[in-house]
Amino acid sequence: MQPATETTLDLGTPFLLSKEEDAEPEYATALGRDGAYDPNQCIYCGYLAALEDRRCPDCKRKLVAPRERTRIASGYLISGRVVLVMLTALAVFEFLLTYSIVRTPGKSLTRALDFITNFIGYRLVFGDISSLDALIVIALMGAHALRVFLYIVVLAGLFVRLNFSFYLSILLLAAEVLFAGYRFTNDISGLGLLIISIALELSGLYLIFASERDFDVAEERVRCEPDKAAKSAGELSRRGYKYSQEWKWGLAISHFQGAVAFMPDELQLYKQLALGYAQIGSYRRALIALEEAQRRQLQDTDTAELIAMVKDQQENDPKRGGEWWIEI
């Protein structure tokens, strides 16, 4: 590659795609008409897919990928953790109440629990579980123990932002709403506990759903456009080459296009762009890229050979070769 002085240009700088003498010139820019810079192209084959397509209609590969999560926990997630801590504490308290009845029937496990159970309004909130059958109380104690365990697992996952904790927390909170209603309708808990539980559980559901961006659980369309971190022709070229090694030719071409816009007097960048176009069967653009290099007097001994190679490949391409094929 010949050394060249790097010039910063707008990535929307027009790149000539049609040079017919009797026709109005056709340009592809960041807002171009022919789709050369359209971000909805397939990142693999360059097919101009619809925005709602999840797979490329041409090469059938996925056009979506897991959305990158936020670096710092959002306020929704932090608030959701607080709500689940409160629900965990409530489940622990309910477990202790049932345990005290099973361990010492008719008496509280500690003086603190004895004071609470005799507090005015206790039965309105928690109901009178001491009057329940012993087997029901034992089953209820086991259910509370399972609730505590699941809350601890969910909280641990939410604090390290594991994907499974997002789904498990939603399932757990939805089940908790149903369980709270079941206990109240079967006289296992009081009205106060029903209101408190459902209020916390619905709040938790809202906060967890709102914290979706804190986890890699949603998919989004991969846009066929240069990486924002690439700020020079060299970096764009390197990233384009990396994507070409992954057979993401549509994405590679978008980087080569940006590299050419940054350094329009560098021959090697035109070669990269032309070869990228040839890989996806866009031979007209490949030839125009090489002809543009020649027009700028950047040709070397390889340029003519590349033009001949692209023309030969076009003629022998069963899908895009010959007179019948008209590129979009």
Looking at per-residue pLDDT, the higher value among 221 and 86 belongs to 86
Q: Name the burial class of residue 47, with classes exposed (0-12), middle (13-18) and buried (19+) by CB atoms within 10 angstroms of its CB.
A: buried
pLDDT at 90: 92
On the question of pLDDT at 33 being above 50, the answer is no
- Segment 4-26 shows an average pLDDT of 37
pLDDT at 319: 65
Domains, the chain, ranges and CATH? 15-37+226-315 (1.25.40.10), 75-214 (no CATH)
Helix (H) or strand (E) segment spanning residue 220: strand 219-221
Average pLDDT, the chain: 77
**Which CA distances in Å does 300 have to 52, 182, 306?**
44, 81, 10
Can you state the angle between helices 75-103 and 163-185, rounded to 10 degrees?
Answer: 50
pLDDT at 11: 32
Residue 209 pLDDT grade (very low, low, confident, very high; cuts 50, 70, 90): very high
Q: Phi and psi dihedrals of 18, rounded to 5?
A: -135, 125
On the question of pLDDT at 193 being above 70, the answer is yes
Identify whether the C-beta of residue 290 lies closer than 8 Å to the C-beta of residue 284.
no
